[in-house]
Amino acid sequence: MMAVMILDVIWGVLTRFVFRSPSRWTDELATFMLIWIAMLGAALAHRQASHLGVSWLIERIDPRIASAIARFIHVLIIGFALVVMVYGGTLLVQDRFRSGQVLPALGWAKAWMYLAVPVAGVFIIGYSLRELIWPTPPKAPLTPAHAAAGASTGGDLI
C-alpha cells in the first residue's frame, strides 16, 4: 500500500512540475491510501503494543497489579473500538453510500475511503481479545540503575 502511495505521489509531482500537465487523480488516490495506511497502521501499532503510553508507573508496581491494569485497559480499548470505530464507522460508511458522494477524479464512492475506520476497529478488537485470552508475558522489570536514570523499556501499551 505504501509503495502504491509513493509511486502515486511521484507520478503527481512528475506530471505537475516536469510535464506541466497535472494528473487529476493523484491527489485523491494519495489521500485515499494515506487514510487506509494510517488506520491499518494504528491497528498494527496496537498489535505490537507500540502506541504512545505512560509506562513509568506500571514499570514500578507489582506485576499482578500491572497485569490487571493492562487487562482493564484492553477492555476499555475493545469498548472504544466497538462503539466508535466499528459501530460509528459502519454508520458513516452506510451514510456515505446512501448520500452517493464520490471522489470526483477517481469516480469511487467516498464510502470506500471511510471503510478503513471499521476495518481497523475490527483488527484492534481482535488484537485486544487476543491479549485478554493469551496475555503477552510482562517485560523484565527495570534495575534500580535504569529506574534512577529514567530509562523505559518502551513499546508498552500502558
> In the structure, what pLDDT confidence band is assigned to residue 150 with cuts at 50, 70 and 90?
low
Cα(6)–Cα(18) distance, integer angstroms: 17
| Contact in structure between 126 and 40 (CB atoms under 8 Å) | no
pLDDT tops 80 at residue 109: yes
Domain boundaries, the chain: 2-149
The pLDDT tens digits of the residues spanning 37-82 come to 999 999 999 999 887 776 777 778 888 898 898 899 999 999 999 9
- Give burial (CB, 10 Å; 0-12/13-18/19+) of 89: buried
Q: Which residues pair with 102 in a beta bridge?
A: 109
Q: Residue with C-alpha cell 476497529?
A: 121
Share of the chain above pLDDT 70, in %: 86
Total-model pTM:
0.81
